[in-house]
Amino acid sequence: MNINELSKQYDFEGKTVVITGGAGVLGGEMACALVGCNANVVILDRDPALADQVVRRFETTKGKYLVVKGDVLSKESLEEAAAEIVRHFGRIDCLINGAGGNNPKATTDPEQSFFDLTTESFRFVSDLNLLGTILPCQVFGKYMVDQKSGIILNVSSMNAFRPLTRIPAYSAAKAAVSNFTQWLAVHMAQEYSPNIRVNAVAPGFFLTEQNRFLLTEKESGGLTARGRKIIDHTPMGRFGKPEDLLGAMLWLLSPASEFVTGIVLPVDGGFSAYSGV
């Protein structure tokens, strides 16, 4: 394969990519990269106004974009969004399940033990991360089945490899996302089409607005005790940047990975490989 053929594999012109949580830090970075690679990018969010800050970053390219309101925990909402997307772009080629997150009420700390965590807080985190991945796969994946082709990229976490202290609900939910990714990859290939691929990326420790002051001190910007532990166990010695996910994302969405399905790819600076000694 020559260099021109290789570069064409990362040209997404005519491909429609739906990103749930596309207005967030990581989803927004993915959206910008894909518009730059000429894709038709759909930012799906419960609050479409949040996408304004992402859209402002789009450069003039062949890529197009659409902002659509959608709730990943409502199948009806997702079906309405899917119909709007198909009316606008004609098809759905790729789905990135970027929506997810934790909740302080499902996190242990000196004032809140594991035994104090409520059923509601566990259910909220589990639903947001697991059902918030499954339902979009059902709705948008059905279009891929009808087309006999498509790519689903889920977002798992380091917590799926090694459960982390203090966040039991999030760790369990992301482990379930990894398991579901493998299950769905086999199901789609065997039951519908080998041209429907399902994979996941598992980010390591990325600084986001959600965890910034858990890992760094608000006043000084220095590392918290938890942040220091993470850096000490990350061979590359730093937190991830949103753009660190882009290479893995583009590869898994492109024809360059057309024989890859059912994997959960760590993007973690070596965290999952390091035993601590």
- The predicted pLDDT at position 3 comes to 67
Over range 232-253, report the average pLDDT.
Answer: 96
Is a pLDDT exceeding 90 seen at residue 69?
yes
Q: Where are the domains of the chain?
A: 3-204+242-268, 211-239
Per-residue pLDDT, 33: 96
Q: Helices 168-191 and 132-147 meet at what angle, rounded to 10?
A: 10
Q: Is the pLDDT of residue 55 over 90?
A: yes
Task: Dump pLDDT digits (tens) for 207-217.
Answer: 877 777 778 88
Residue-level pLDDT at 272: 95
The better pLDDT of the pair 120, 3 is held by 120
Exposure b/e, 46-72, CB count within 10 A at least 16 = b = beeebbeebbeeeeeeebbbbbbebbb
pTM of the entire structure? 0.95
The per-residue pLDDT for 277 is 86
Report the pLDDT value the prediction gives residue 1, as an integer from 0 to 100.
65
Least confident stretch, 17-21, 55-59, 66-70 = 55-59
- State both tokens at 36: 């730059």
The Cα diameter of the chain in Å comes to 60
pLDDT of residue 61: 65
3-state SS assignment for residue 201? strand
Q: With beta carbons less than 8 A apart as the criterion, state whether 135 and 70 touch.
A: no
What is the model's pLDDT at position 142?
A: 98
> What burial class does residue 275 get, using C-beta atoms within 10 Å of its C-beta: 0-12 exposed, 13-18 middle, 19+ buried?
exposed
As annotated, the active-site residues are 170
Residue 25, CA distances (Å) to 50, 65, 91, 99 in order: 11, 17, 26, 11
The mean pLDDT value for 151-170 works out to 95
Region 3-204+242-268: CATH code:
3.40.50.720
